[in-house]
Structure 1
Amino acid sequence: MNWVILFLAGLLEVGWAIGLKYTDGFTKLWPTVGTVFSLIASFLLLGLALKSLPVGTAYPIWVGIGAVGTALLGIFLFAESTDVLKLFSLALICVGIVGLKLAHG
């Protein structure tokens, strides 16, 4: 169950990272409220997951989910670049996430 909690925390990290773009420097109320909510919920869920998962495994996975998810949404929502090096680098992060999960067991 803690892996599910960690995954949800990572998705919420994507939510607040993308939400930052929509806050327009925290000048728009509802995007700011959603971003702050996602930020707090992401940290709370990460904290819950860390009760039973090692920090050296859980934190990098959380960051990786957030980084890959944010980069992919940046591509789809904001027409950011899709050059080969960027996509290859994102694939390497995914391999790292899977490797950390497999190493933990």
Structure 2
Amino acid sequence: MSWIILFIAGLFEISWAIGLKYTDGFTKLWPTVGTMFSLIASFLLLGIALKTLPVGTAYAIWVGIGAVGTAVFGILLFDESTDVLKLVSLGLICAGIVGLKLAHN
């Protein structure tokens, strides 16, 4: 169950990171509220997952999910670059996430 909670925490991390773009420097109320909610939810869920998962593994996976997800949504929503080096690098992060999960078992 901790892995599922950690995954959901990573999804909330993506949400708050993308939400920052929509807050317009925290000048728009509802995007700011949504972003802050996602930030708090992400940290709370990470904390819950850390009750049973090793901190180094869980934190690295949480950050990896957030980094890859934010980059992908940046490409989809904000027309950010999709050059080969960026895509290969994102693939390497994904491989690292999978490797950390496998190493935990």
Q: Give the match for residue 33 of structure 1.
A: 33
* Distance apart, 1:86 and its partner CA: 0.1
Structure 2 gap segments, 5+ residues each: none
* Distance apart, 1:64 and its partner CA: 0.1
Alpha-carbon RMSD? 0.2
* Distance apart, 1:71 and its partner CA: 0.0
CA distance in 1, matches of 2:74, 2:40: 22
Q: How many positions carry a matched residue from both structures?
A: 105
Amino acid at match of 1:93: I
Is 1:82 matched up with 2:82?
A: yes
Amino acid at match of 1:10: G
TM-score by length of 1: 1.00
Q: Give the match for residue 95 of structure 1.
A: 95
* Distance apart, 1:102 and its partner CA: 0.1
Deviations 1:54-105, CA, capped at 9 Å, x for gaps: 0010000000000000000000000000000000000000000000000001
Is 1:7 matched up with 2:14?
A: no
Amino acid at match of 1:35: T
CA distance in 2, matches of 1:74, 1:19: 11
* Distance apart, 1:43 and its partner CA: 0.1
3-state SS of the aligned residue for 1:8? helix
* Distance apart, 1:28 and its partner CA: 0.1
CA distance in 2, matches of 1:55, 1:67: 18
Aligned-pair identity (%): 83
Q: Give the match for residue 66 of structure 1.
A: 66
Amino acid at match of 1:20: L
Amino acid at match of 1:14: I
Q: Give the match for residue 55 of structure 2.
A: 55
Q: Give the match for residue 24 of structure 2.
A: 24
